């Protein structure tokens, strides 16, 4: 009886290569971390911001200590895990595979991706640090990300015919901007404000720090929409390449 059962199980259950097993593991971690990150992003923008406007000043230290700081910790680490695992997945499963097929190195496309999107964030960081109006920042952000996406799609050496490489190359680029906003603006600014408030000595430039963190967070909120679209389109809606 055992032999027929073992035979049936081996026939029903498919076999997977190590690359396929790694791919599903990376995708699963990426999705779970991404749900956590984007969920908290929406919480901060759509729930926490209006809530904090209604909280009495005497209650804010408690909210900062027991809700905001722990949530920010989960927020920043889930952002890092999302981008790190997603970048690993994209680079190894799609870019490296296309590069092998073409007989070239994957490093050129990966390097171009990093150059374009880190450069795009540098421009936005400069603008956000000046605390402009939301409309000005929105217009600058739109121009910068469209230009960055166009540059990547048109000049990437590997994967110009691969929708996975191109779509994730745009959506993942938005993710890089959002990650650097979290670690470069949102987290450090809020940390200074909260720790200073809890110590009884809020920073003198607390209003400016809060404004910058708010603008960076709102930028992330709006970028999350096209980010999710391009990530989903990479496998479910071919719009670039094939």
Dihedral angle computed from the Cα positions of residues 145, 152, 109 and 95, in that order, rounded to the nearest 10 degrees: 90
Range of the domain at 91: 18-236
The total domain count for the chain is 1
Over its length of 242 residues, how does the chain's per-residue pLDDT go in tens digits? 556 665 555 556 667 788 889 999 999 999 999 999 999 999 999 999 999 989 887 888 899 999 999 999 999 999 999 999 999 999 999 999 999 999 999 999 999 999 999 999 999 999 999 989 999 999 999 999 999 999 999 999 999 999 999 999 999 999 999 999 999 999 999 999 999 989 888 899 999 999 999 999 999 999 999 999 999 999 998 889 87
Tokens of 226: 């096209």
What's the whole-model pTM score?
Answer: 0.91
Structural domain includes residue 192:
yes
Burial of 29 from C-beta contacts in 10 A (0-12 / 13-18 / 19+): middle
Structural domain includes residue 242:
no
Is the separation of the CB atoms in 239 and 149 below 8 Å? no
Structural domain includes residue 7:
no
Structural domain includes residue 12:
no
Tokens of 208: 């400016």
């Amino acid at each position: 009886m055992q032999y027929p059962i073992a035979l049936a199980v081996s026939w029903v259950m498919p076999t997977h290569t190590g690359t396929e097993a790694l791919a599903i593991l990376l995708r699963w971690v990426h999705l779970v971390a991404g749900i956590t990150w984007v969920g908290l992003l929406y919480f901060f923008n759509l729930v926490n911001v209006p809530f904090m406007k209604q909280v009495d000043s005497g209650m804010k230290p408690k909210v900062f200590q027991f809700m905001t700081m722990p949530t920010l910790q989960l927020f920043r680490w889930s952002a890092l895990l999302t981008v790190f695992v997603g970048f690993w997945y994209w680079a190894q499963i799609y870019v490296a595979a296309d590069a092998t097929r073409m007989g070239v190195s994957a490093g050129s496309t990966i390097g171009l991706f990093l150059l374009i999107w880190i450069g795009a964030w540098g421009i936005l960081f400069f603008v956000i640090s000046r605390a402009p109006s939301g409309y000005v920042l929105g217009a600058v952000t739109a121009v910068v990300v469209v230009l960055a996406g166009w540059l990547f799609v048109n000049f990437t050496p590997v994967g110009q015919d691969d929708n996975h490489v191109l779509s994730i190359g745009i959506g993942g680029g938005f993710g890089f901007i959002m990650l650097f906003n979290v670690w470069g603006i949102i987290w450090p600014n809020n940390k200074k404000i909260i720790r200073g408030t809890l110590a009884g000595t809020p920073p003198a430039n607390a209003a400016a720090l809060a404004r910058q963190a708010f603008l960076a967070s709102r930028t992330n909120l709006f970028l999350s929409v096209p980010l999710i679209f391009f990530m989903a389109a990479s496998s479910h809606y071919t719009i670039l390449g094939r």
